[in-house]
Every structure is written in C-alpha cells, then in structure tokens.
Amino acid sequence: NAGVTQTPKFQVLKTGQSMTLQCAQDMNHEYMSWYRQDPGMGLRLIHYSVGAGITDQGEVPNGYNVSRSTTEDFPLRLLSAAPSQTSVYFCASSRQGQTPGANVLTFGAGSRLTVL
Amino acid sequence: GIQVEQSPPDLILQEGANSTLRCNFSDSVNNLQWFHQNPWGQLINLFYIPSGTKQNGRLSATTVATERYSLLYISSSQTTDSGVYFCAVAPFSGGYNKLIFGAGTRLAVHP
C-alpha cells in the first residue's frame, strides 16, 4: 500500500517553462488536494477535488491548473512558471463521509520546486 | 475567510518537559486536525478532533468548538517530538475536507 505518491521529488525550472507535478493515491479516496508550503509558513490550499471530474479552487489558485480524470490521479500543472512559485508542494487525500477515519488527510512526501 | 492562529510560534523544551500548543479559529468548523511535520518535511496526522478530547500515548488534544479553540498537549517530551505542529480547520461553509492551516508552532526538544 503506497499511500500518496508524488513525483518528481525535486525540479528546477526556468521562468516561463511549464511542468506537471504528479500525484497518485491507491486508497480509493474521493477527496484530493494540492497545498504549497513556503519557508516559515503553513500550508496554503491551491486546488482540490471531491471526485473524478470535479475540481475547485482553494486559497491560492492563480497560476495553477488541475484536472481529475480518475479517482487515483490529481496532477497539478504550472503553465508558465514564475519565481513566486518556488515552493514545496504537497498532495493530500482523504476518504469522505461520516464513518471513522473519514476526512483525515494523508499527505505525500512533497515536491520541491525551484523556479529561476 | 476563516482565520487560524497558533501559539506560541516557537517553543524550546528540555527533554521530559510538558507543553501545551494552542489553536484559535475565527469561525465554526466541522473538521479540525493536528499534524506534525518532522525535520525531513513529512506531514503526519496526529488527531482528527472537531470536538471533544482524544489521547494517543504522550499526546492528547482537546477542542472546545463553542469557544473556537483547540489545545494539543505533549507530555514527557522527547527529541523525536521536534518539528512543526500544525492545526488545520475546515469551516462549515466549505465542506469537511477543505482544510485551512495555521502558521504552525515550531518545537525544539533538547536532550
């Protein structure tokens, strides 16, 4: 059981380049989300999804796109990278509902992105 | 949007000491979780506690939802407790999973 898997772990981009951060979970969780963490700060929600085909914006969505074509995968796309997007990105997932263990976030290991 | 404030921002302890971390939030919530981020950056869920009290070994947490705060207690601290502790809440208006994080409490436990 791998949990939440993020790739790549490290990436360096030049300003204006595009890339996709991958996130996959094997727990059949309905809810998936992307956060960014900047030095000395808490996590800020970028985008989230409550199921395949459904996505919505979080606190800081500008400059990022997401899609959810399957339950397992939730990629985060940077269309034109900017230095302000230098950060550590975390993907998280949870089961939804009212049963024990639902709505508890499980995080991936993080992806460190540097934009020059 | 909802505001989440954690205190203290930094905490230094000697091994064996006890501590209390606080999380205040500005609106009613239907989900509240505490996380520990270890020095390698890994985030681990400690408690799911939208109300009431829970205990897990040396850690315990209490949320008083009507007064909009939660407390995390660490007893007999160990060096492995070092890291950053985050409180995260989901307001009633946003569903159960849309968690908003506080800025965290950075804890250093010295031997």
Tokens 């508890």 -> residue: A104
Q: Does B38 touch chain A (CB under 8 A)?
A: no
Mean pLDDT of chain A: 94
pLDDT beyond 80 at B96? no
CA atoms within 13 A on the CB side of A97: 7
pLDDT beyond 90 at B9? yes
Return d(Cα B6, Cα B8) in angstroms, integer: 6
Q: Does B33 touch chain A (CB under 8 A)?
A: yes
Query: What pLDDT is stored for residue A90 in this prediction?
Result: 98
Mean pLDDT of chain B: 95
Q: Is A28 helix (H, G, I), strand (E, B) or coil?
A: coil
C-alpha distance from A98 to closest chain B C-alpha (Å): 10
Interface list for chain A against chain B, based on CB atoms closer than 8 Å: 31, 33, 35, 40-45, 48, 50, 58-59, 88, 90, 92, 94, 96, 102-107, 109-110
pLDDT beyond 70 at A1? no
Return d(Cα B111, Cα B91) in angstroms, integer: 39
Label residue A99 by pLDDT band (50, 70, 90): confident
What is the number of residues in chain B? 111
Q: Does B92 touch chain A (CB under 8 A)?
A: no
Return d(Cα A40, Cα A60) in angstroms, integer: 17
B41-85 confidence digits (pLDDT tens):
999 999 999 999 999 999 999 999 999 999 999 999 999 999 999
Quote the tokens at residue B18: 């006890």
Q: What is the rounded average pLDDT of the residues A87-99? A: 92
pLDDT beyond 90 at B102? yes
pLDDT beyond 70 at A39? yes
Q: Does B100 touch chain A (CB under 8 A)?
A: yes
Instruction: Please report residues of A whose CB lies closer than 8 A to that of B98.
Output: 33, 45, 48, 58
Pick the closest to residue A59 from A48, A44, A74, A41 (CA basis).
Answer: A44
Highest average pLDDT, of A1-10, A14-23, A39-48, comes from: A14-23
A51-87 confidence digits (pLDDT tens):
999 999 999 999 999 999 999 999 999 999 999 999 9
